[in-house]
A and B are shown apart, each in its own frame.
Chain A
């Protein structure tokens, strides 16, 4: 690896892989969610048409984004929503803080927003004396565990119920050893109801914002975004610039795709449309760039901005399922996150596009038809060209290129390889060989294809 301070994906994944039964359990759980997605998708004969339509709407959005942003701002403002713009994470965090500070608010309840994870908002506010409580159950669990979410839709998918029981016992006073999901959820309900009823400020994410009407939509199953927003005097919504869609009717397409792709549900329990603030309260929306406009200009990676954050690519990804979300050391894990992260910091996230088998399963399930595995492949080329690829890998690739370019070297290498495999297998089957770490080494044949072919040709001719 180049000189990064954080551990890279292979090392973090190796840590996760130490507990084999847990890896298998993680793998099976996510595959079960993926299977539910398939059942839901196959129930709709128009599924492929929906995907294609969604993809085309998003292409249109990206090609007219500046117009839609201005249109949304004008309409939202007309509706009484106050619009803010943030060029980067720091500015976003400052805006949130100043809104709270002006009102003397020191406690906030927050609904799910991966954008605020990307901006490290919780840490920022904590440093400024603001107490933030995450209200999505999965997010609350990882928050109490002092961890980031490991999945964008299922934030604590990596945790066992016994571990959650221990966390709740320590922080929320549930009985020691209690691990029944029903009882634990009830404990969280009581705890968070108190939070909803006492917080003056609520922050939420945004699933979709409509340029035509100036409204925005938030999807939850728990109703936590609504409980927070409706009971607070100020509702702050954080939104990436790519969340816009042109018209209200387009919501019909995306709401049909989102949860079917995410969890296999036909729709979330709540799909809430915020258009105007209610009497006596304010709605503020922060439109955040944070590198998105740069990605928009990268023709080969622009498509990644079509993402609606369903998590289908993670659930289907064999690498994600077997290495866990935290191995990706970025807010959005898995295949799509590995395209988005290098845009923000190519050096820091140079490892992520390599954490893929390029099997294409992610692209196949993507509801907006992002060419995810192709983009991961393209990032690898950019990263190597820019000199951020791991040194050892670069050297090995150079050696391979040299060998493949020379028939003599190629034949010699093959012969040596077969001899080593046959007479000194220990020379390759050891921990010094990184290839061996995840794989059984093959048994070498006695002769190469070239030798076999020459012999066969000779026999035929004689």
Chain B
């Protein structure tokens, strides 16, 4: 009932059709030759992320082993990091089972230099709640996977079919108490980004 009522009222009250603006110009405004990795690094670091430029997975393992105590629960969605629990094998488990995860390691192929955001879909996450419920989050990205702005990011995403996707740009944070920035609200207390050369 309300559906018809609302649609009729909207149709009756909406003005004559106006065209959509040109979007192409925004796609082409930024210089894609600039050093996107260093731009990303500056923005992401300012947003509270730890960014590491690494040459291979051994370096990533060394950093993780250095930062986390042995025996803590780590889930990884990467074949190359197989010392940890493989996300694929636990993806059908109830999300509540991940409440004790210390670190989740994920991989993406899309990062945005202008705002430090990394695009992750449900497939990259294994389970939707994993990048949120873990105490810490790490994301691996190739050095050629960065685009300048959100305009190009949505060009890359295009018409992709996903159940869920998120731009994640840092650790969970809040500034609700007298505008003091506090890292570690409900989600991960840190975001480490490994840029693979």
Q: Interface of A with B (CB < 8 Å)?
A: 29, 32-33, 44-46, 49-50, 52-53, 56-57, 59-60, 62-66, 69-70, 85-87, 91, 135-138, 141, 154-157, 159-161, 164, 181-182, 184-186, 188-189, 192-193, 196-197, 213, 221-224, 226-227, 230-231, 241, 246, 248-253, 255-256, 263, 265-279, 287, 289, 293-294, 296-297, 299, 302
Contacts and interface: CB of A to CB of B under 8 A. Distances in A.
B92 A279 contact: yes
A281 to B, nearest CB: 9
Contact of A249 (B5, B16, B129, B155): B155
A85 B164 contact: no
B179 A29 contact: yes
B182 interface: yes
B173 A182 contact: no
Given A186-B184, A251-B154, 14 more contacts: A44-B114, A70-B7, A137-B176, A154-B179, A185-B174, A221-B174, A223-B132, A226-B187, A231-B96, A246-B20, A271-B167, A273-B165, A275-B162, A299-B15
A176 B107 CA distance: 44
Contacts of A91: 2
Interface in B115-130: 115-117, 122, 127-129
A251 B159 CA distance: 13
Given A154-B176, A278-B164, A248 B115 contact: no
A302 to B, nearest CB: 7
Contacts of A279: 92
B111 interface: no
A157 B171 CA distance: 22
Interface string B1-23: 01101110111111111111101
Max count, chain A CB within 10 A of own CB: residue among B162, B169, B185: B185
B11 A66 contact: yes
Max count, chain A CB within 10 A of own CB: residue among B16, B165, B166, B171: B166
B51 interface: no
B3 A85 contact: yes
* Chain A to chain B: the 4 pairs with minimum beta-carbon distance, closest first: A297-B13, A223-B187, A266-B115, A138-B176
A293 B6 contact: yes
Nearest to A280: B94
Contacts of B16: 63
B155 A223 contact: no
Contacts of A46: 26, 29
Interface of B: 2-3, 5-7, 9-21, 23, 25-26, 29, 43, 47, 92, 95-96, 99, 112, 114-117, 122, 127-129, 132-133, 149-151, 153-155, 157, 159, 162-180, 182, 184-188
Contact of B176 (A136, A213, A230): A136
A181 B177 contact: yes
Contacts of B116: 266-267
A222 B174 contact: yes
A85 B6 contact: yes
A147 B13 CA distance: 36
B117 A189 contact: no
Given A226-B129, A273-B164, A289-B6, A137 B174 contact: yes
B26 A53 contact: yes
17 contacts: A29-B178, A49-B25, A136-B176, A141-B176, A155-B176, A161-B178, A184-B177, A248-B159, A252-B150, A256-B115, A267-B167, A270-B169, A275-B165, A278-B122, A289-B6, A293-B13, A296-B14
